Amino acid sequence: MASLLLLLLLLLAPAEAGTSHARVFSVADYGAAGDGVRYDTGAIQAAVEACAAAGGGRVLLPAPGDYLTATVHLRSRVVLEVAPGARLLGGTRQGDYPPESRRWYVVLAENTTGAGVTGGGEINGQGGAFVVTPNAQKNIMVSWNVTGDCKGDECRPRLVGFIDSKDVRIHDITLNQPAYWCLHLVRCDNSVIHNVSIYGDFDTPNNDGIDIEDSNNTVITDCHIDTGDDAICPKSTTGPVFNFTATNCWIRTKSCAIKFGSASFFDFKKLVFDNITIVDSHRGLGMQIRDGGNVRDVVFSNIKISTRYYHPSWWGRAEPIYITTCPRHPDSKEGTISEIQFINISSVSENGVFLAGSKHGLLRNLKFKNVDLTYKRWTNYSGGLYDYRPGCQEMVKHRTGGMMLEHISGLEIDNVRMRWTRGSLKGWDVDPLLFRASTIDKLSFHNWQSLDVSR
């Protein structure tokens, strides 16, 4: 922990030193109305360009003010500063965004060095305006797919994006009501995300919290994420994800709190998740490796989890820990997952731990140390299904157990306790362990207990 804090201080130090003397360009001086009705795009972008031309600094959105805008393009060394009480509001018309859907963001930095977002205020995607039919199970959303540049039902703008950028700094900011993914880093290097609060509608699909794609050296600290879809989500589509840490975070999601994939074409290496609280989520710690990338060297430590069932149209089956690799399509490559440690974890959940590799994509050398798992039921959704989605065997009817193990080589259990409140486990077969022995090799149990605490 101490070394992580030191690393954070070192990483933040140059940015802080830079901004304290940096020139400030207030959008008010460039004609911004800040009335939430007229578009301030021109004024904001003019302030950004002037700031960039001056060698960098801060672009201030002063309070009070609601600044409605089309896509704002950040430049190198320009930090967008939304003052406490001010809001940047994303436009809700397709014409507010660039023609190419991969560039649909309210705030977008491409090819930048040292750009950032901060200021204590809020960036708001007006996600509610994209709901066609509100539905407590899952909202039906608008999809901007008529031009054909984006296909399917997930064509909506993201909130904040950094693409091909270095030294990204995002701190002390609220990101509210994204229409689609909230904070997205793509092929970035050396990024710090600190004290960021994210609020997405709990019934809206695809409003992920933080998606870190194809990026190296990312540090997330002190985040608060309360949203419908996955909260912290490393993905690999065009390159690997190396050196990623997330610490001191609080998460609630109707999907998976920490999810690797499911885009997983390249490797994930050296990731640390420490001091994280996950409440009322559909899944806790998850890996959905489906496309041939390998995961290696990951530590999850000091994590409290509570997971429950939600409507099955959301991926997840209340598993506190869900580590899977299997081929998405019959011809997909099978990645492996190895050297994964779970240390000091406690959970209360409506379903068991699910650890499933596949024939050519084994789980290797998993270690559970000081893990306390409590099982009980408190919602009335039915259980009894294993969830291999996306692809693979999809949903499989099965008994429910404390830990389900499949295609593993090397599993070390050291000081793991399972507690059952049998009376509340309607419809459960109370099996502490379920596994197909022929697919498991090198199991080691030390100090393992399974207790019925209702007696």
Ligand X SMILES: *[C@@H]1O[C@H](CO)[C@@H](O)[C@H](O)[C@H]1NC(C)=O
Stretch that binds ligand X, among 234-242, 251-259, 289-297, 425-433 (CB under 6 A): 234-242
> 């207030």: which residue's tokens?
26
Stretch that binds ligand X, among 16-24, 238-246, 307-315, 423-431 (CB under 6 A): 238-246
Question: Residue 143, interface with ligand X (CB under 6 A)?
Answer: yes
Query: Can you tell me which of 120, 384, 390, 410 binds ligand X, judged by CB under 6 A?
Result: 120
Question: Residue 173, interface with ligand X (CB under 6 A)?
Answer: yes
Name which of 331, 241, 325 is nearest 290 in CA terms: 325
Question: Residue 152, interface with ligand X (CB under 6 A)?
Answer: yes
Question: Residue 243, interface with ligand X (CB under 6 A)?
Answer: yes
Site residues for ligand X, window 251-280 (CB under 6 A)? 275, 277
Closer to ligand X by CB, 42 or 240: give it.
240
> Is residue 331 a contact partner of residue 290, using CB atoms and an 8 Å limit?
no
Query: Can you tell me which of 76, 113, 344, 450 binds ligand X, judged by CB under 6 A?
Result: 344
> Is residue 400 a contact partner of residue 429, using CB atoms and an 8 Å limit?
yes
- Applying CB under 6 A, the site for ligand X has a residue count of 35
Closer to ligand X by CB, 207 or 215: give it.
215
> Is residue 225 a contact partner of residue 210, using CB atoms and an 8 Å limit?
yes
Closer to ligand X by CB, 117 or 434: give it.
117
Q: State the Cα–Cα distance between residues 143 and 343, nearest whole angstrom.
A: 42
Question: Residue 4, interface with ligand X (CB under 6 A)?
Answer: no
CA distances in angstroms from 95 to 27, 90, 270, 439, listed in the order given = 22, 12, 41, 54
CB of 217 to ligand X, least distance (A): 5
List Cβ neighbours of 141 (8 Å cut-off, separation of 6 or more).
Answer: 130, 131, 132, 153, 156, 179, 204, 205, 206
Which SS3 state, helix, strand or coil, does residue 42 take? helix
Question: Residue 172, interface with ligand X (CB under 6 A)?
Answer: yes
Closer to ligand X by CB, 151 or 422: give it.
151
Query: Can you tell me which of 26, 76, 113, 145 binds ligand X, judged by CB under 6 A?
Result: 145
Name which of 83, 71, 29, 84 is nearest 51 in CA terms: 29
Element (H, E) at 7: helix 2-20
Q: State the Cα–Cα distance between residues 188 and 242, nearest whole angstrom.
A: 11
Closer to ligand X by CB, 71 or 126: give it.
71
Question: Residue 153, interface with ligand X (CB under 6 A)?
Answer: yes
List Cβ neighbours of 145 (8 Å cut-off, separation of 6 or more).
Answer: 151, 152, 153, 155
Q: State the Cα–Cα distance between residues 359 and 258, nearest whole angstrom.
A: 25
Start-to-end Cα distance in the chain = 40
Closer to ligand X by CB, 206 or 215: give it.
215
Q: State the Cα–Cα distance between residues 313 and 310, nearest whole angstrom.
A: 8
Question: Residue 76, interface with ligand X (CB under 6 A)?
Answer: no
Count helices and strands (H / E) in the chain: 2, 35
Which SS3 state, helix, strand or coil, does residue 450 take? strand
CB of 301 to ligand X, least distance (A): 4
Beta strands 189-199 and 353-356: pairing type?
unpaired
Question: Residue 204, interface with ligand X (CB under 6 A)?
Answer: no
Question: Residue 393, interface with ligand X (CB under 6 A)?
Answer: no
Q: State the Cα–Cα distance between residues 322 and 435, nearest whole angstrom.
A: 15
Query: Can you tell me which of 343, 385, 430, 443 binds ligand X, judged by CB under 6 A?
Result: 343
Closer to ligand X by CB, 145 or 374: give it.
145
Closer to ligand X by CB, 187 or 398: give it.
187
Stretch that binds ligand X, among 166-174, 200-208, 360-368, 415-423 (CB under 6 A): 166-174
Query: Can you tell me which of 133, 380, 397, 426 binds ligand X, judged by CB under 6 A?
Result: 380
Question: Residue 180, interface with ligand X (CB under 6 A)?
Answer: no
Residues making contact with ligand X (CB under 6 A): 1, 110-111, 120, 143, 145, 151-153, 164, 172-174, 187, 189, 195, 197, 214-217, 239-240, 242-243, 248, 250, 275, 277, 301-302, 343-344, 370, 380
